[in-house]
Amino acid sequence: MSRAWLAVLAAVVVLPLTVRHAIATEIWIFAIFGLGLNLLLGYTGLLSFGQSTFFGSAAYVAGYLLKQYAINVFVALAIGVVVGAVSAALVGYLCVQRSGLYFIMLTFALNQMFYFIAYQWTTVTGGEDGMPGIGRPALLGVDFRNPLAYYVFVAALFLLSLWIMKRIVESPLGKILQAIRENDVRAEAVGYDVPSFKLLAFIIGGGFSGLAGVLYAMLFGIVPLEAIGFVFSGNVVFATLIGGSGSLYGPIIGSFVFIWLSESVSVVWERWPLLLGVAFVIVVLFFRGGCVEAWARFWSWRERRRALEGIAQ
């Protein structure tokens, strides 16, 4: 097992001992959301500014079924993944026809469209008030109303998601998506239907977003309107960039930094987004690879210093 996996496992164990269970749970949910985005952003080079479309749609649909029919948790999760993937297929199909700025604006515009549907359709979504009353049905005798039990469940699903994403990025698909990021004209010329591959990345990313959306709805017992809003879409992009979009583990670190800042510092200091802004500027100016790159640079700097000291003696 690699060092990265050991670090992730250690974090899974230590986190609920140091912060409130709800925050710890939210960190892993947001990390799943980030993993899905990063397949697009980091691996395929597509800046999607509309990931909350899939997150929110899945949260509403699965949340509604949980509320009305108290369906099985696994069924709810499966429905969330499917809703996320299908909505991503619809949005992705339209977006991959364009590239660059037009692509980004399309993801954003379609996100706004979904947002206003949720805003207007008050009988189902509750509009601005959100959709409350979502329960966490027990599973195999385990009561998920217990925060720690739910944390363990979410953490396990996160580890499963991470493992699946690792398999995907290490598969031929992962390599092809990176080739498309590097040079889409050449990728097309050597025999890959670039729009179809981008769409596939969208669908997979949408599935991850959908899973995160359902877990989020179950965590707070409500789907707030913001869950499908553009701020949420922006947050996952910020978090992933701060963590490092060049690495599989970047979004996890980003999620940790982002949620911890927003949940812990926001209690003490109302203007906490300012900190986030500063962090973002630092990343963009000095560490394009986010925390992952900062960490790697720090280590290589230490190695060099050690080597120099060795020579001096």
Partner 1 sequence: MALLRTETLTKAFGALTAVNGVTLEVQAGTLHSIIGPNGAGKTTLFNLLTGQFPPTSGRIVFDGRDITGTPAHRIAHLGLARSFQRTNVFPALSLLDNAWIAAFARGRSWRGLVWRRSDGYAEVAERARAALADVGLADKADQPAREISHGEQRQLELAIALAAAPRVLLLDEPAAGLSPDEMQKMVALVRGLKGRYTIVLIEHKMDIIMGVSDRVSVMHFGSLIAEGTPAEIQRNPEVRRAYLGGMVAE
Q: Point out which residues bind partner 1 (CB under 8 A).
A: 167-168, 170-176, 178-179, 181-183, 185-194, 200, 204
Of 136 and 181, which CB lies nearer to partner 1 in the complex structure?
181
Of 167 and 297, which CB lies nearer to partner 1 in the complex structure?
167
For 240, the enclosing helix (H) or strand (E) is: helix 230-243
Supply the minimum distance, in Å, between the C-beta of residue 199 and partner 1: 13
The DSSP code sequence of 33-86 is: HHHHHHIIIIII----S-THHHHHHHHHHHHHHHHHH---HHHHHHHHHHHHHH
Contact residues for 124 (Cβ-Cβ < 8 A; gap 6+): 60, 64, 131
Handedness of CA 216, 218, 219, 224 (dihedral sign): positive
Supply the minimum distance, in Å, between the C-beta of residue 47 and partner 1: 17
Of 141 and 191, which CB lies nearer to partner 1 in the complex structure?
191
Contact residues for 156 (Cβ-Cβ < 8 A; gap 6+): none
Give CA–CA dist 224/212, Å, rounded.
14
Contact residues for 113 (Cβ-Cβ < 8 A; gap 6+): none
CB atoms within 10 A of CB 110: 19
Supply the minimum distance, in Å, between the C-beta of residue 103 and partner 1: 19
Of 186 and 305, which CB lies nearer to partner 1 in the complex structure?
186
Supply the minimum distance, in Å, between the C-beta of residue 155 and partner 1: 24
Supply the minimum distance, in Å, between the C-beta of residue 298 and partner 1: 22
Phi, psi of 145, rounded to the nearest 5 degrees: -70, -20
Supply the minimum distance, in Å, between the C-beta of residue 76 and partner 1: 25
For 208, the enclosing helix (H) or strand (E) is: helix 194-220
Of 188 and 263, which CB lies nearer to partner 1 in the complex structure?
188
Of 126 and 289, which CB lies nearer to partner 1 in the complex structure?
289
3-class state of residue 190 by DSSP? coil
